[in-house]
């Protein structure tokens, strides 16, 4: 399979019939493109017959979901009439991690795993089959790609969203409802109830059909009068039915043993539903020819007049794998009822806010040698009381499962951000005794590098900004960010702290590459490499470079998507943090050169080159107040903090340049130390009070 990297942003599909015929050669025969839906029917030449064997389409025509760089994948997909993937190929993409770094082979291999998987299965990425579920046809397990979690999730969403649109239109899926935009059963709403209480609550519904009611259905058809037994006892029961949605916790947990309930929760998709049907009477709702695990012949499911596929959820067989003693907890008078669980996958679009509409099909025949048949349906509905259902939302996308799967990571990150917030608000916790800052800062930078950067892949990047710019320019949603919870949380935190502390919160504490530079410097401090002190004038000029780099990247991002992918490589973040130096040598060399530069020119990349830092400095001007303390003597005449500041962000006047301040708090340590701060030393000697000011402000308070 050949991977074609886009030479530009694809607003629509690129395949014509000739290209499709090349992609699907003999024995496939490519039909004409559908006039109502951008799909190509695929036929197969078998002797003199050419049966329909599938549909081919481009994902970008049906679900142009922006990737991590703000540009959609374009996938060439073929599905068969049963909803199984015949082929999944990547026509184009612009995912930074696959363009360079990991290369395209992992993406190709990832796409190939979908072949043979059905849309009726729950596709689980990076999930491990639980005991006994490896052969469970309800689930399909796909290996993800390390360091590309967000990209493969967006790939999966693009594939499923486009494929389900074709399936709903062409394969009879519930095309009336988008499975991402339906209501959800509340997962935590539970109350202990008896069987009768469940019936009274409306969670279990009962239907009874008499022989006469069934006879009435066949009136005027060839089936009329073909039930002598029913005619003799018209008021007797033809079939008695109970039905419920077992996915509702109040139903499932009250009717199932705890082991069975846990097994069900772990072996169906988060939006799947299990429907319970019990029956007794002259007519079985499953029939003698019923095959376990298959679609029932006699019972059909609809919603809004559209068919929805359901399959027998063969719970007894599944649970036998675990040697569980299992039975449905029924009242004594229902012990003789036969019962089945039917599985409806989330992709089918069964909306729990509306009743599930069943039909029990009854067939009668007339004649003996060449009998004629007539079929009528006994209709019954299974509603869910509204307070057990969460209303439909427009953002019920598959990113929810990704966030749920990273709960531990999210808690750790939020805890780390909370600690940093406390430290920056109550900074004198660290700066009072100077040694506290000496041990706390390296430890926090280690947390930033190892957890936020290398483990959680939370390195913010100029790619985030160019992705937003390109998505907005193309009129596309920014929802692609939601596939990376670390990025969302970090940007949200930075967005808030812009108003409080400015740029330095990220650049000084939360940037993994910045942390790597500083930690390497501290580890090699014993070598005592000569540090180059850039003159004040040259430093001021060099700091403009990053703004020029930022402006250049943003302009290129608007005019040329492919070139954007090249110019953003001025950032070493992907090489050193995302891919941990597992990359081709030119990129590794560039990252190493920048790290070596930082040994001689303190954080030279951050101060002079980083386009993300330039963007953050611009937004950092939203800062409401100058929070680092200054005295009237700071810069007038004392220059100690200015000379000690390795970022050279303190001006001759003593004012702190917050656009360049990385909030290392070293100047505050000096400020609070009566052994370092010259004005405090003088104060001790002369016994006079000093005045305090905020950076850049007039005298405002006494210390």
Q: How far apart are CA 266 and CA 31, in angstroms?
A: 42
pLDDT, one tens digit per residue, over 566-579 is 898 899 998 898 88
For the full predicted model, state whether its pTM sits above 0.85.
Answer: no
pLDDT averaged over the chain?
A: 83
Q: Is the pLDDT of residue 133 over 50?
A: no
Once rounded to an integer, what is the mean pLDDT over residues 611-617? 93
**Which residues make beta-bridge pairs with 302?**
307, 357
Question: Given this model, what pLDDT does residue 401 score?
Answer: 63
Residue 367's pLDDT band (cuts 50, 70, 90): confident
Least confident of 138-147, 529-538, 685-694: 685-694
Domains of the chain, by residue range, sit at 17-174, 184-390, 406-624, 626-703
Burial 191-230 (b: 16+ CB within 10 A, else e): eebebeebbeeebbbebebbbeebbebbeebebeebbeeb
**In whole angstroms, how far apart are CA 490 and each of 495, 503, 510, 660?**
8, 13, 8, 20
Q: Which residue has the tokens 């081919």?
A: 56
**In whole angstroms, how far apart are CA 129 and each of 91, 125, 135, 273?**
31, 11, 9, 20
Question: Given this model, what pLDDT does residue 472 score?
Answer: 80
Query: Strands (DSSP E) along 347-447, which ranges?
Result: 356-366, 372-382, 389-390
pLDDT, one tens digit per residue, over 55-90 is 999 998 887 777 766 678 889 999 998 889 999 999
**In whole angstroms, how far apart are CA 560 and each of 14, 70, 470, 590, 625?**
19, 13, 10, 24, 39
Q: How far apart are CA 137 and CA 129, in angstroms?
A: 11
Q: Hey, what are 679's tokens?
A: 């004005």
If one compares 684 and 333, the residue with the highest pLDDT of the two is: 333
pLDDT, one tens digit per residue, over 413-437 is 999 999 999 999 988 888 877 678 8
Q: How far apart are CA 461 and CA 497, in angstroms?
A: 17
If one compares 180 and 253, the residue with the highest pLDDT of the two is: 253
Q: How far apart are CA 587 and CA 569, in angstroms?
A: 8
**Percent of residues, the chain, with pLDDT higher than 90:** 33
Residue 438's pLDDT band (cuts 50, 70, 90): confident
Question: Given this model, what pLDDT does residue 466 score?
Answer: 87
Residue 689's pLDDT band (cuts 50, 70, 90): low
Cα dihedral across residues 219, 225, 227, 230: positive or negative: positive
Question: Given this model, what pLDDT does residue 698 score?
Answer: 40
Q: Is the pLDDT of residue 320 over 50?
A: no
Nearest alpha-carbon partner for 471 in 154, 71, 75, 158: 71
Question: Given this model, what pLDDT does residue 11 score?
Answer: 43
Residue 293's pLDDT band (cuts 50, 70, 90): low
Q: Hey, what are 559's tokens?
A: 């005019």
Question: Given this model, what pLDDT does residue 173 score?
Answer: 61
Q: How far apart are CA 579 and CA 99, in angstroms?
A: 13
Question: Given this model, what pLDDT does residue 277 score?
Answer: 94
Judged by DSSP in three states, 381 sits in strand
Q: List the end-to-end C-alpha distance of the chain, in Å, as a whole number.
A: 71
Helix and strand totals (H; E) in the chain: 29, 21
Cα dihedral across residues 161, 131, 266, 483: positive or negative: negative
- DSSP sequence for 650-682: B-TTS-B-TTT-----HHHHHHH-TTT-HHHHH
Tell me if 28 sits within 8 A of 43, measured CB to CB. yes
Q: How far apart are CA 518 and CA 516, in angstroms?
A: 6
Once rounded to an integer, what is the mean pLDDT over residues 109-129? 80
Judged by DSSP in three states, 494 sits in helix
Tell me if 502 sits within 8 A of 658, measured CB to CB. yes
Q: Which residue has the tokens 């679009």?
A: 349
Question: Given this model, what pLDDT does residue 611 score?
Answer: 95
Once rounded to an integer, what is the mean pLDDT over residues 304-324? 61
pLDDT, one tens digit per residue, over 24-47 is 998 899 999 988 889 999 998 777
Q: Hey, what are 700's tokens?
A: 């405002």
Nearest alpha-carbon partner for 508 in 645, 625, 696: 645
Least confident of 157-161, 265-269, 388-392, 688-692: 688-692
**In whole angstroms, how far apart are CA 90 and each of 152, 315, 493?**
12, 38, 35
Q: How far apart are CA 695 and CA 650, in angstroms?
A: 9
Q: Which residues lie below 8 Å from residue 379, measured CB to CB, with a gap of 6+?
A: 357, 358, 359
Least confident of 102-116, 381-395, 508-522, 662-676: 381-395
Q: Is the pLDDT of residue 694 over 60?
A: no
If one compares 275 and 406, the residue with the highest pLDDT of the two is: 275
pLDDT, one tens digit per residue, over 195-230 is 999 999 999 999 999 999 999 999 999 989 999 999
Domain covering 626-703 in this structure, CATH number: 3.30.70
Tell me if 274 sits within 8 A of 264, measured CB to CB. yes
Tell me if 318 sits within 8 A of 244, measured CB to CB. no
Once rounded to an integer, what is the mean pLDDT over residues 296-321? 70
Q: Is the pLDDT of residue 241 over 60?
A: yes
Question: Given this model, what pLDDT does residue 642 score?
Answer: 87
């Amino acid at each position: 399979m050949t991977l074609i990297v886009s030479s530009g942003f694809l607003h629509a599909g690129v395949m014509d019939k000739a290209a499709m015929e090349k992609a699907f050669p003999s024995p496939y025969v490519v039909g004409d493109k559908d006039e109502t839906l951008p799909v190509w029917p695929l036929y197969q030449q078998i002797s003199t017959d050419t049966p329909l064997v599938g549909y081919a389409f481009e994902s970008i025509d049906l679900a142009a979901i922006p990737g991590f760089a703000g540009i959609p994948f374009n996938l060439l997909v073929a599905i068969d009439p049963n909803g199984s993937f015949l082929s999944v190929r990547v026509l184009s993409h612009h995912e930074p991690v696959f363009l360079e770094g990991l290369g395209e082979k992992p993406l190709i291999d990832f796409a190939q795993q979908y072949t043979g998987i059905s849309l009726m299965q729950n596709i689980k990425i990076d999930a491990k089959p639980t005991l006994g579920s490896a052969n469970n046809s309800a689930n399909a397990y796909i290996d993800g790609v390390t360091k590309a979690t967000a990209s493969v999730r967006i790939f999966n969403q693009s594939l499923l969203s486009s494929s389900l649109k074709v399936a709903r239109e062409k394969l009879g899926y519930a095309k009336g409802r988008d499975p991402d935009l339906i209501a959800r059963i509340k997962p935590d709403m539970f109350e202990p109830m008896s069987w009768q209480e469940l019936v009274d609550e409306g969670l279990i519904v009962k239907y009874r059909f008499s022989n006469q009611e069934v006879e009435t259905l066949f009136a005027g058809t060839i089936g009329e009068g073909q039930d002598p037994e029913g005619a003799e006892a018209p008021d007797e029961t033809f079939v008695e039915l109970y039905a419920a949605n077992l996915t509702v916790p109040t139903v499932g947990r009250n009717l199932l043993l705890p082991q069975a309930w846990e097994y069900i929760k772990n072996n169906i998709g988060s939006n799947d539903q299990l429907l319970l049907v019990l029956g007794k009477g002259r007519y079985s709702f499953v029939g003698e020819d019923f095959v376990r695990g298959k679609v029932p012949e006699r019972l059909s499911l609809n919603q809004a007049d559209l068919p929805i596929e359901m399959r027998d959820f063969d719970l007894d067989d599944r649970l036998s794998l675990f040697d569980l003693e299992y039975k449905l907890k029924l009242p004594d008078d229902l012990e003789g009822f036969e019962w089945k669980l039917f599985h409806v996958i989330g992709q089918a679009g069964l909306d729990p806010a509306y009743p599930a509409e069943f039909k029990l099909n009854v067939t009668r025949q007339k004649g003996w040698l060449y009998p004629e048949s007539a079929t009528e349906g006994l209709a019954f509905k299974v509603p869910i009381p509204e307070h057990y259902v969460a209303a439909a939302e427009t953002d019920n996308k598959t990113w929810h499962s990704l966030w749920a799967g990273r709960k531990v990571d999210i808690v750790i990150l939020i805890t780390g951000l909370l600690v940093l917030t406390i430290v920056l608000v109550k900074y004198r916790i660290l700066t009072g005794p100077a040694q506290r800052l000496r041990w706390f800062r390296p430890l926090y930078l280690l947390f930033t590098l190892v957890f936020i950067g290398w483990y959680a892949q939370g390195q913010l990047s100029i790619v985030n900004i160019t992705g937003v710019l390109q998505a907005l320019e193309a009129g596309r949603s920014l929802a692609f960010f939601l596939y990376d919870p670390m990025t969302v949380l970090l940007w949200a935190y930075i967005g808030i702290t812009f108003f409080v502390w400015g740029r330095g919160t990220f650049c000084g504490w939360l940037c993994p590459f910045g942390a790597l530079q500083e930690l390497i410097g501290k580890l090699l401090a014993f070598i005592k490499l000569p540090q180059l002190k850039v003159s004040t004038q040259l430093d001021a000029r060099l700091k403009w470079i990053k703004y020029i780099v930022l402006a250049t990247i943003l302009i290129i991002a608007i005019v040329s998507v492919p070139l954007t992918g090249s110019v953003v490589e001025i950032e070493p973040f992907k090489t050193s943090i995302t891919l941990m130096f597992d990359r081709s040598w030119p990129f590794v060399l560039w990252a190493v050169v920048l790290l070596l530069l930082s040994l001689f020119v303190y954080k030279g990349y951050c101060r002079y080159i980083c386009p993300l830092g330039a963007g953050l400095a611009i937004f950092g001007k939203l800062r409401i107040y100058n929070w680092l303390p200054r005295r009237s003597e700071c810069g007038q005449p004392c220059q100690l903090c200015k000379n000690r500041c390795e970022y050279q962000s303190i001006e001759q006047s003593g004012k702190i340049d917050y656009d360049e301040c990385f909030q290392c708090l070293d100047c505050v340590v000096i400020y609070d130390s009566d052994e370092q701060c010259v004005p405090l030393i003088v104060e001790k000697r002369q016994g006079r009070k000093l005045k305090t000011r905020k950076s850049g402000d007039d005298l405002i308070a006494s210390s």
